[in-house]
Amino acid sequence: MLELKDVCFTIQKDGDPLNLIDRASLKIPRGHFMAIVGPSGCGKTTLLKTIAGLNPESDGSLWWNGRNLSEEGDLEPWEIGYVPQFSIAYDQLSVDESVEAATRLRVKTKGATDLDDRIDKVLEETGLAPIADRQVSVLSGGQKRRLGLAMELVSRPKLLLCDEVTSGLDPRSEHEIVNLLHDISRREGRIVLSVTHSLAHLELYDSILVLHEGRVAYHGTPEQLTHYFSVDHTELVYPQLAKQAAEKWHSSWLKHSGTYYEKLEHNRQNLVNQGLLELPADEFKDPEKEVIAKEDEIRAPGLISQFNTLLGRRMRIFFRDRGQVFLQLAILICFPILVVLFSPRANENMRKFTDGSGATLQQKMEERAGVQADRLKVGSAVSGIIMFQVVLLSLMGSNNAAREIAGERQIFEKEKFGGVSPVAYLMSKVVFLAGLILIQSLWMAGFVELFWSFKGSFADHAIFLVLVNAAMTSICLGISSLMRTAEKASLLSVYLVGFQLPLSGAVLALPEAVEPITRPFISAYWAWSGSVKSLSSDYISALSSISETQLSSVNLCFFILLIHIMIGLVASWIGTSRPQWEH
């Protein structure tokens, strides 16, 4: 049984406390199908999230099978299913692949046969078996709602919470979904709570909970609803609610609740007697069967298992997203070609001053001027090529990670609620992005090397290209994890890349007052400086003659870029660990 005792959820508005849920008390037995209805803004979704544990109750307590959830912790992830309004599946996957991934992430199965049986049962139960091979992107609204239910049923939850799963559907699809929820509630003693704006198909529910301004105005059978509110049709309930203050409706309900709960219990007993309601063995207090039920509890998969599932799914989504694959290939091909366009100037030889003894003073001065001109021209070209590589790889890093987490925020938060480890999730992102970083950076270094040979330690140069890509990818991944929307994350990441070139000092030296403040945060400077210091002494000298920016040692540049990577990973961990549900 689920029981709420004077539950409140309070927020601060203009400095004053505001109860979005105010002293809600109700009892919901096993095998029960309840609708939560009420005018917009009455607290329906807020109540559902409070029951789910997403909104911590400010006062009162929630009880589950005699256990005080407020003191003894929330329900286990396998015990509860939460179906939000938004889609929790990836468009690039099929129905079967989506359910399989959900199963692998939430349930530790006993081999391939157990996995297949569980998937097949859920697909059959939700009516998705005939379209199991169909891609999510082509599903209708009703089919997507069925898929959302299927992905929650893989762990056979005892409590299923549905938030507006019928909104936006045509009448036929709405009726099918309500019927499906009704059937689900009849199996294994499952409690199903459904938030809905619609007052259609109320006869399929065991009880109706009416909220008004966060207070319980009614909780009883559908057939008693119109009688209680003294109206002829259910559509008139909302106008009737508006005629009295929420406090008056709540007080009235407290006076009459006993009679209505007796009717609810009477209806439930009839369903049990007729064999229409399937209840678990421990409902009848059979000690031996209670032990069996405990042994049959769902176990969550381990960290490595979740990581493998998440990484495999991410790779599959990437290669099926033709737009993303094309973009990555275009970047991979075009960016190095842009750098190569500047290679002819950097390939010119730098003459050295010969100091011939027979030369006149004028000839020596002309030769010295020519040598200096060569040094300026070649040094400027070499510095430009290195910085061009660095900035383009920074742009690649931003493109890699800016939307990686924020773009799937809702799905991730939902999966985290279902038991997915943030560590496994972040690890899968890091490994996937590491592959992109290595391919992009080493290809950039190798392709440019074919047209302009790096005049120094090519290995050091390649390492710095990898590090600057990794640093920008890591920082943008952190931004993506901290931002609620992909648009905000992308915008901030673009700004970050935009400041790399002007604040690096590679083109124009920064003012002495500004340079110490900005330099530690500019990854492009450290990669450029480290690569330049890896050049031969002649080229370092040439670059020093055209730039007032001081170069840092190779070891320091390497160390600072590693710090940037670590900062990004820490920010990513913070962002993925904290709950960021949209309220």
- Give Cα separations from 49 to 31, 146, 438, 581 (angstroms): 20, 21, 42, 10
For 461-487, what is each residue's pLDDT tens digit?
999 999 999 999 999 999 999 998 999
User: Which of 278, 294, 310 is the last residue before a domain boundary?
Assistant: 294
Determine the Cα–Cα distance for residues 263 and 256; give it in Å rounded to an integer. 12
Measured in residues, the chain has a length of 583
Is there a single domain that holds both residue 206 and residue 336? no
Determine the Cα–Cα distance for residues 525 and 467; give it in Å rounded to an integer. 12
User: Is 534 part of any domain?
Assistant: yes
Is there a single domain that holds both residue 432 and residue 284? no
User: Is 63 part of any domain?
Assistant: no
Helix, strand, or coil (residue 191): strand
User: Is 405 part of any domain?
Assistant: yes
Is there a single domain that holds both residue 273 and residue 376? no
Q: What is the reported pLDDT for 353?
A: 45
Is there a single domain that holds both residue 131 and residue 245? yes
Token readout for 509 is: 């030296």
**Burial tier of 271 (Cβ tally within 10 Å: 0-12, 13-18, 19+):** middle
Asked whether the beta carbons of 188 and 196 are under 8 A apart, the reply is: no
Asked whether the beta carbons of 173 and 161 are under 8 A apart, the reply is: no
pTM given for the model: 0.90
**How many CA atoms within 13 Å lie on the side-chain side of 353?**
15
For 280-308, what is each residue's pLDDT tens digit?
655 544 433 434 344 457 888 999 999 99
User: Is 483 part of any domain?
Assistant: yes
Helix, strand, or coil (residue 170): coil
Token readout for 466 is: 């990898």
Q: What is the reported pLDDT for 290?
A: 39
Is there a single domain that holds both residue 332 and residue 261? no
- Per the structure, the complete domain to which residue 571 belongs is given by 322-346+366-577
Within 10 angstroms of residue 479's Cβ, the number of other Cβ atoms is 26
Is there a single domain that holds both residue 566 and residue 499? yes
User: Is 24 part of any domain?
Assistant: no
Is there a single domain that holds both residue 334 and residue 422? yes
Helix, strand, or coil (residue 10): strand
Contacts of 224 (CB under 8 A, 6+ apart): 260, 263
Is there a single domain that holds both residue 336 and residue 289? no
Q: What is the reported pLDDT for 289?
A: 40
Q: What is the reported pLDDT for 341?
A: 87
Is there a single domain that holds both residue 340 and residue 473? yes
Asked whether the beta carbons of 536 and 530 are under 8 A apart, the reply is: no
User: Is 317 part of any domain?
Assistant: no
Count of H-run helices and E-run strands, the chain: 23, 10
Is there a single domain that holds both residue 411 and residue 278? no
Determine the Cα–Cα distance for residues 557 and 559; give it in Å rounded to an integer. 5
If one counts the domains in the chain, the total is 2
Is there a single domain that holds both residue 431 and residue 473? yes
Is there a single domain that holds both residue 125 and residue 270? yes
Q: What is the reported pLDDT for 541?
A: 75
Asked whether the beta carbons of 37 and 178 are under 8 A apart, the reply is: no
User: Is 377 part of any domain?
Assistant: yes
Spans of the chain below 70 pLDDT: 280-296, 348-377, 545-548, 582-583
Q: What is the CATH number of the domain that holds 102?
A: 3.40.50.300
Asked whether the beta carbons of 402 and 493 are under 8 A apart, the reply is: yes
Determine the Cα–Cα distance for residues 256 and 264; give it in Å rounded to an integer. 13
Strand 67-68 and strand 59-64: the pairing is antiparallel
Q: Nearest CA to 318 among 433, 223, 241?
A: 433
User: Is 359 part of any domain?
Assistant: no
